[in-house]
Amino acid sequence: MDGAIEFSSNVPRFIPRTGIRRAMKIGHGIILGGIIAVMATGFTFLPTGISWAIFFVSLTVLVFHFLIIFGKSMVSLNERYETMDYSGLVKNSFTFTSKSDGLELPGYSYHREGLDRSAGQFPAIISFHGWGASHVEMDRYILPMVRENDIVYYTLDQRGSAPPFTGGDKNDHLNGIEDANQFLDLVIKQPDVDVERVLVVGMSMGSFLTLKVAYPDPRVKAVVVMAPPVDINLTLQEMPLGTKLGFKLFGFKLKITGMSPSELSPLACLERDGIPDGNGKRVPNKERVLMFHARDDRIVSFKNSEIAKDILALPSENVVFFDRGDHWLVGNETYITLIMSKFLTKHLA
């Protein structure tokens, strides 16, 4: 080929996920349309029993179709976790008892090989995983930093998480908040933790806990939130019907009896001028908060992060919004780790 290469901005997508989703929606629509047609004509021309039988068979096909697609997505995510490289790291486990109801919860601590934790105090990273997930969900983001730096990293399996099953109810949000408070206190009191350099990272409902518990705490130097459900009301309103049905099928509940979604939301915790430090001086949010979200998130609407960005007055360098990646930010992990590492390293110095 002679001359300079002519570039085009019309780059095809490697995996046409939008096309796949469109095909799935059309398929769902056809099945639902068929069910409605059967119900409309069947009860007119066929015996009632036969019409109901056809209806339930069609509905069963639709439900199994959803479960297969959802299950394949979960298996794909779990395979990503299981293939991570943990060489060069030391992992320890421990348990702590929830003061709320006496539930035993498993905690974990990582550091790089060769680090003598008894030799002093080190910067600490704490993470809270997503709803019904487990602590390994956060490993892909944080362990590369732990492997390369003198950092101690603490995480836990929250109540109702899997795998492994920890016991407790994943929908017990009030006790979950208290667990997070207790875990934060526990870590900060450890002899190997530098209390001046405590950082907290959360994903999804882990971001919910991060904003409810860690963001308002002056002992926490910085927080990172991914796909944060800042406004529970908005999250419920914007959630697609299919996602809501999936939540119901798998027993996920965002509501608490006797408490409005507004009361549960982290929205009221956010301060435009920042949180006062130990000396009463407000620290600007741009020095404390980093946020990630995908615009095509079907579980926690992207509008949540837009609202948080405005309330916290975050500059563009503190927010990373992806066009694709869905709720789990799939395909963006390497870039997230790079940006997060730069942000956290600045606060570890």
At 292-321, the pLDDT tens digits run 999 999 999 999 999 999 999 999 999 999
pTM: 0.80
Sign, CA dihedral 14-17-19-20, equals: positive
> By mean pLDDT, which of 19-28, 104-113, 289-298, 305-314 is the weakest?
19-28
The closest alpha carbon to 224, from 67, 332, 342, belongs to 342
pLDDT of residue 38: 65
pLDDT of residue 49: 75
Q: Where does the pLDDT of residue 1 fall: very low under 50, low under 70, confident under 90, or very high at 90 and above?
A: very low
Q: What kind of architecture, by CATH, is found in domain 87-348?
A: 3-Layer(aba) Sandwich (3.40)
Q: Is the pLDDT of residue 226 over 50?
A: yes
Reduced to 3 states (helix: H, G, I; strand: E, B; else coil), residue 195 is strand
Average pLDDT of the residues in 81-95:
82
Q: What is the mean pLDDT of the chain?
A: 85
Category of 132 on φ-ψ map: left (φ > 0), alpha (ψ -120 to 50) or beta: left
Instruction: Return the CA Rg of the chain.
Output: 23
Category of 305 on φ-ψ map: left (φ > 0), alpha (ψ -120 to 50) or beta: alpha
